Structure 1
Amino acid sequence: MQHGKYRFIVGFLVFPLALYALFVVWPFIQSIYYSFTDWTGLSPDFTMVGFDNYTRMLDDDTFWSSLQHSLTFALLLPVVVLGLALFFAFMLNVGGRGRKGAAISGVRGSSFYKIVYFFPQVLSIAIVALLFQFAYNPNSGAINSALSAVGLDSVKPEWLGDPKLALWCVMAVLVWSTTGFFVVLFSAGMASIPKDFYEAALLDGASRFTTFFRITLPLLWDTVQSGWVYMGILALGAESFAVVQIMTVGPGGPADSTNVLTLLVYQKAFRDGQAAYATTIGVALLLVTLAFAAVVMRLGRRERLEF
């Protein structure tokens, strides 16, 4: 009987594992291999160059600035996005009290707020980037027009044209476009927490602050940890690439102030015809992503709470 069970498990897994190896693992292996060559991406011919690409990468100032920007996204975006999402989800689910005979409920109008927060998820990230590009326009954009309307004509920044502001403008767009997803994720987790816990805390005189940190956050910690890793991967990967590619001048400007590793990989591979060097940067990005996930999982490790 046991033998038949193992044969069933192996037979069930062999096909999806083969697909995973073919479309996920094998491209990683190919990228690592090509990083030791001088392949241009335009010709099938190449030669092995050893660690030359890695030496070049370590001496590349653009790589280090792009790495700094990517790490800024990975470290700050999860804090801001998850913090906002936890606050909004808590208020939408258990932040209101004493309405319609329910001891625990969301704030008034929570159903409408859920739609508002989730709305950015309906839009493509490319559309979001284009909309905010128009909004940031220093001459006719919505933001500077609003400043003029309230009498702040002297305070009209260049936004995406200012090297000191451009990166933060991009980060604001990423916060706006991703927070809604985590509001929904955390709301689903909070809905599974028994209301009895909150009602018992209320009887003991607990405040919203206390119930959040003593009940909600500990019971939701596994979801928060997974969201932290996922948000970090988004910040290091496709989301940051799309916004920077569409919104910024260059793209990656001004003066490389918004360049990120994913955009640098794209530029080297498709603009400069340096596919081998691009894969080298891709390998570095892979290592950074794995290190980020490992650190978050290690620092966030705690005893599992069940209810």
Structure 2
Amino acid sequence: MSVLTRPVERAAAPAPPAPSQRRRLNRGYGFVIGALAPALVLHLIFIVSPYAQAFYLSLTDWNGVAGKANFVGFDNFARLAGDSLFLDAIKNNLLLLLLMPAATIGIGLFLATMIQRGGANGRSGVKGARFYEIVFFFPQMLSVAIVAVLWGFAYNPNNGLINGVLRAIGLDGLARSWLAEPGLALFAVMAVMIWSGVGFYMVLFSAAIDAIPKEIFEAALIDGSTGWTTFRRITLPLLRDNVQVAFVYLGMVALDAFALVQIMTVGPGGPDGSTEVMGLSLYRTAFEYGKFGYASAMGVALFFGTLVFALVALRGNKNRTELA
């Protein structure tokens, strides 16, 4: 009988589970459901419910106090398109998004590479690498409010540390009112964001480099690879996932930036709206002007902007991985 005319043998149907096995499976499902149910309920109450309320309030003119909220549809979102101050806030957030994550990741990668050349994989490099890790990580132990206050003193145009050092070394012409000049204020805040965040990502990248097998670096060294070529061809590709995570988190920080701007800048948000960010516009609209419906629309816009950014960043990395 040929293969083509041979009757096809059907696979035997799997035997149904025994009653004792079914009872064990049911007990297992019951345990899992019982363990997840409290967390799911808390998530719905404290996470999903506030989001749903914000989405609803963005379609009303609620003033934040007890009373009826009139449904206005998408009028609040239409107002956002013509709100010049909010549009300036979007531009400032986009500038932060363009520069701050790239600078933080770049400096963090550089410092991590220099530190890991100090013996973790058998290469010569900087002495006292662990001490430098502690020093650069130190800002992570300070709250955002403390960081903002300290740097506010440092930026003081009269007796601040930065201008004091410039005057002491004879560079009086470089002294500035760092937070009072429209062209400098946002970059001064951005410098603080980079300073406060670079230590964490340096430690993150340092741990990731430390996990790379040293045999890979030894093989590259034997092949005559230079330090820059090794970093570009080996270290950076193997850190792609870590860089992606860092970029997403730093992008979310750049799209917020509320606390530093609120504490450090004049106005706050000044001068002339040069440091206005979306989070600050939302806060002022809600708690100073009492327009909670309009502020909720700002929050919804910020939410979807952050969501789109995260999806694009994650999708872009996935496409690069598939091409590789």
Q: Name the TM-score class by shorter chain.
A: over 0.9
- Which amino acid letter does the alignment assign opposite residue 140 of structure 1? N
* Deviation per residue, 1:121-146 (Å, 9 max, x gap): 11111111111111111111111111
Length, aligned pairs only: 298
Change (3 A) 1:106 1:14: farther
Contact 2:148-2:263 at 8 Å conserved across structures: yes
How far did residue 284 of structure 1 move? 0.4
Alignment partner of 1:247 is 2:270:
no
- Change in Cα spacing, 1:155 to 1:227, as seen in structure 2 (3 Å) is closer
Q: Residues 36 and 51 of structure 1 are in contact (CA less than 8 Å); yes or no, is this contact kept in structure 2?
A: yes
Residues 1:303 and 2:314 aligned together: no
| Change beyond 3 A, Cα 1:36–1:214 | same
The two structures have a TM-score, normalised by structure 2, of 0.87
Residue of structure 1 equivalent to 2:178: 159
Of 172, 186, 206, 2:205 maps to 186
| SS of equivalent to 1:300 | helix
1:104 Cα deviation after fit? 2.4
1:17 Cα offset (Å) = 2.2
| Partners of 2:104 and 2:139 in 1: CA distance | 13
CA shift at 1:148, angstroms? 0.9
Q: TM-score, normalised by structure 1?
A: 0.92
The alpha carbon displacement at 1:5 in A equals 4.2
Q: Structure 2: which amino acid aligns with 1:183? A: M
Q: What is the rounded CA distance, in whole Å, between the counterparts of 1:184 and 1:127 in structure 2? A: 22
Q: Matched residue of 1:205: which SS?
A: coil
TM-fit CA distance, 1:4: 4.6
CA contact (8 A) 1:190 1:220 kept: yes
Structure 1's 122 and 106: CA in aligned 2 closer, same or farther, altered over 3 A?
A: farther
* Superposition deviation, residue 56 in structure 1: 1.1
Structure 2: stretches of 5+ with no match in the other structure: 1-20
Work out the percentage of aligned pairs sharing the same amino acid.
Answer: 49
Is this contact kept in 1: 2:118–2:129, CA < 8 A?
no
1:170 to 189, 201, 211: 189
- Find the aligned partners of 2:145 and 2:225 in 1 and give their Cα distance: 44
1:205 matched to 2:228: no
Displacement after TM superposition at 1:43 (Å): 2.8
Asked whether 1:79 is paired with 2:98, we answer no
Which residue of 301, 309, 313 corresponds with 1:284? 301
Residues 80 and 175 in structure 1, CA contact (< 8 A), matched pair in contact too: yes
Structure 1 unaligned segments of length 5 or more: list them. Answer: none
2:55 matched residue in structure 1: 32
Does residue 90 in structure 1 map to residue 113 in structure 2? yes
Residue number in structure 1 paired with 2:159: 140
Partner of 2:18: none
Q: Which runs of 4+ in 1 moved over 6 A?
A: none
Query: Which residue type is aligned with residue 135 of structure 1?
Result: A
- Between Structure 1 and Structure 2, whose CA radius of gyration is higher? 2
